[in-house]
Structure 1
Amino acid sequence: MTRPTGRRNSELALVTGAAGGVGSATARRLAEDGARVAITDINVERLKVLADEIGGIALPADGTNGEAVRDVVAQAVAELGGLDTVIATQGAAIAGTARPKHVDAYHKALDVNLHGSYYLAGEVMPHLIESQGSLVLFASTAGLIAGPPGTVGYTAAKAAIIGVTRWLAREYGPRGVQVNAVCPGWVRTPLGEGAMAHLSEREGITVDEAYAMTAQHVPLRRVAEPEEIAGCCTFLASGDASMVTGHVLVADGGGAAVDASTVVFDEAPQG
């Protein structure tokens, strides 16, 4: 039997949320690997700086606006000549609880973390069917287990991204498209820095010490660097992952594998 050759590696790529820590690292990695890269984000200044750095195409837009997403995809296809890889890293941790006064924050969290990716998937899918390409969505360990206090909308959205990923994989796999998701834990990004600044102020410690505190019961005992999560994204979009679809790749140093009720035994003598 002849072994299938798998899909080609990324050549024509679109990265959303590219002004963020993981998004910019992912765009850089794709460019280093030889892809032509279009990037989009609502932050125009950071986007243009990154585009100049990697020789990419900057397409500023509000990723929560369906019409804006449609225009970005059309421009990316026109500029690149097609699309074979789309990696959607946009997201934000918007504070809010399950109280009526936080309903607007809840809806905003869904818009930023879920609806933008939904709009994107609908627009890029015809192009990915044509190229037999790959879509990588950005979830979080908050989609698997409860996120931090005050992040109900973020948690709900990331759980939904996992469901959307699996549905898209089932729906479009027969047409040759792979759809996967990445679930990071804490990452050293501007989003992570905001949470760590709050923790460091509360505990009277440095930001680095706050990161160490959050990772003290994570098996690898550290948080991720953006480049490590970018590597997960580009792997799922590569020919090396040609048999992988509908998968949720957890990249959290092993944190989601730990039963919180057992951490009291972590320093116990080993027999």
Structure 2
Amino acid sequence: MNDPVRRRKPELALVTGAAGGVGSATARRLAEDGAKVAVTDLNAERLKELADELGAVALPADGTDRAAIHDVVEQAVASLGGLDTVIATQGAAVSGTARPEHVEAYQRALDVNLHGSFYLAGEALPHLVQRQGSLVLFASTAGLIAGPPGTVGYTAAKAGIIGITRWLARDYGPKGVRVNAVCPGWIRTPLGEGAMAYLAKREGITLDEAYALTTKHVPLRRAAEPEEIASVCAFLASGDASMVTGHVLVADGGGAAVDSSTLEFDAP
């Protein structure tokens, strides 16, 4: 295949939420694959450590601030010489229900998990059009099925990411830009461990036992490692996925494929 767009790996990439978890792993993977990388996150100290490790450009910013995101994108373009890949891994678990007293938590969950990615897309897409690039947004299986108790805002936000992904794919496909989303299940990250710590304390078990408990009905029987989800992001951003757009790739060890009403039946 002679088409360089189809053959290429990401060359000029921006990764958000890069100070930890999947974001750090994704930045490392793209750098290992030869990309020039810019990274952004609210945690400036961790971001600098990662940038120093990778030789990347560190652009600390509040990912919920549209003006700050505009500046990050423009600085990334200026530093790297353009953008052909943007991977938006930023996110946070914000507890809250539908009760009136939790409205601020609900809004915060939307700001971090939905609005920030929407703002990023709006700022980055004109540059991605120039290089017929790729945008990968970070959803969750919580966007497909209800998330854990107390995560109504997170669940709503991740469902919104899926809708935005499909809309952007429709509108920007004719301009040569691919837009896809990743839907992980449980991942061994600081965000995941926050939930596991609560479960471990409640049940009087270890973190590893908490992960095992939450994935006992997942076909692969385990949570993902950040590097595994980074590989999915790298694939969607690469020329190997040249005909993939508007897709929501579930990477949850098979959990979303399981019908919970059948869990009490014995295996044949």
TM-score interval (norm. to shorter) = over 0.9
Letter in structure 2 aligned against 1:176: G
User: C-alpha separation between the residues in 2 aligned to 1:63 and 1:262?
Assistant: 41
1:88 corresponds to which letter in structure 2? A
2:224 corresponds in structure 1 to 224
Partner of 1:180: 180
Q: Does 1:126 pair with 2:88?
A: no
Aligned residue for 2:191? 191
Q: CA 1:109–1:216 in structure 2 vs 1: closer, same or farther (change >3 Å)?
A: same
Alignment of 1:89-108 (within 5 A): 89-108=89-108
Asked if 2 retains the 8 angstrom alpha-carbon contact of 1:27 and 1:37, the reply is yes
Pairing 1:76-225 to 2, within 5 Å after superposition: 76-225=76-225
* 1:253 counterpart SS class: coil
TM-score by length of 2: 0.98
Deviation at 1:119, TM superposition (A): 0.4
SS at 1:179's partner residue?
strand
Q: Which residue of 1 aligns with 2:44?
A: 44
RMSD (CA atoms): 1.0
Contact in 2 for aligned 1:6/1:243 (Cα 8 Å): no
Deviation at 1:192, TM superposition (A): 0.4
1:83-119, Cα deviation, whole Å (9 max, x unpaired): 0000000000100000000000000000000000000
Q: What percent identity do the matched residue pairs reach?
A: 79
Structure 1 residues 224, 269: closer, same or farther in 2, change over 3 A? closer
Separation in 2, partners of 1:125, 1:146: 30
Name the count of aligned residue pairs: 267
TM-score by length of 1: 0.97
Aligned partner of residue 111 in structure 1, secondary structure: helix
Distance 2:131 2:81 in 1: 11
Letter in 2 for 1:213: L
Determine the structure 2 residue equivalent to 1:24. Answer: 24
Q: Which runs of 5+ in 1 are unaligned?
A: none
**3-state SS of 2:212 partner:** helix
1:20: how far off? Answer: 2.3
Per-residue Cα deviation, 1:155-187 (whole angstroms, up to 9, x for no partner): 000000000000000000000000000000000
* Structure 2 unmatched ranges of 5 or more: none
Q: CA deviation at 1:5?
A: 5.8
